[in-house]
Amino acid sequence: MSRVRYRRTRFSVPMLPTTLINGLFEQSLPVADRGLAYGHGLFETITLQQGRPVAWQAHLERLKAGASRLFIPLADNIEQTLLADLAILLAKQPSLPERQVLKITITRGCGGRGYAVDAGVPINRIVQLNAFPSYPDHPSANGVAVRLCQTRLAIAPQLAGIKHLNRLEQVLARAEWSTPDIREGLVLDAEGYLVEGTMSNLFWCRDGVLYTPQLDRCGVKGIIREQIIRLAAQREIPLKEGLFAVDTLYQADEVFVCNSIIAIWPVIQCTLADQRQSRWSIGPITQCLQSSLSAEGIY
């Protein structure tokens, strides 16, 4: 008689609820949701410090502006509703992590077939908590390598600046590399002008002047980008926004990318499509702006 061997099963502790949909602990949306069908929606990704949303008002105002642009009716009490959702999620945690990532997604709700939407259809509201990413190689201090992507962004002024759900261009650009030593990809618009990174905004410095692409034709006006522009003005660092060819970047003294989770990452190397490389040092303006963000509690 053969002996039946049973494999010991390792049971994991169930994860705490981290997602609310319209104020309820759920994990799914109806297939008719317009965010799924058409990308008709918006999202915000926010750093939480001890449960406090960093730059909350700036994120809220961008969300409202985007909703207006996409004809998504937000209730007058949307701020109170979102903060109440966050409080419910935080209350489920046995202890409060130093940092977390809060993601808010708003879709136009569930509509029938076709692009037209019934004005009476309620929106869908998704609030999620995620662990803050770990960066053991300390990219904020040591810098990162990036590459220039071949995927280009369409010029679409109606969608420029806002954080809408249509991110396929960024998905395609990010699919261009898989090596872990490249931390970000830089993208151009359809006419060949610098725009941003796949997940970040782009700045560079030359002769003491700070440069960043204008984002009235495509790209996302990041919250940290706007904070950097404000801090540069306070510290009397000259700033120029405009349409810049990629060659402008290679003449820079220092380069960095930024977003609401990474704050500022200095760029120390960029690989071109033909594998040529440009290199930069981590410069004083980058370090000044990093310190300024930290001093204001933004990161």
pLDDT tens, 163-206?
999 999 999 999 999 999 999 999 999 999 999 999 999 999 99
Neighbours of 87 (CB within 10 A): 10
What is the residue-wise DSSP string for 90-113?
HHT-SS--SEEEEEEEEE--B--S
pLDDT tens, 93-142?
999 999 999 999 999 999 878 899 988 899 999 999 999 999 999 999 99
Domains of the chain and CATH, by start:
19-131 (3.30.470.10), 139-295 (3.20.10.10)
- The residues, ordered by sequence, that sit 6+ positions from 157 with a Cβ below 8 Å of its Cβ are 216, 217, 218
- Per-residue confidence (pLDDT) for residue 16, from 0 to 100: 57
pLDDT tens, 251-266?
999 999 999 999 999 9
pTM of the model: 0.92
Alpha helices by DSSP H, listed for 96-216, are 139-142, 168-174
Phi, psi of 231 (to 5 degrees): -65, -35
| Structural Rg of the chain based on CA atoms | 21
Instruction: Report the run of H or E that residue 204 belongs to, with start and end.
Output: strand 201-206
d(CA 201, CA 176): 19
Residue position matching structure tokens 């510290």: 235
* Active site members: 45, 163, 196
Between β-strands 194-197 and 182-189, what pairing exists: parallel, antiparallel or unpaired? Answer: antiparallel
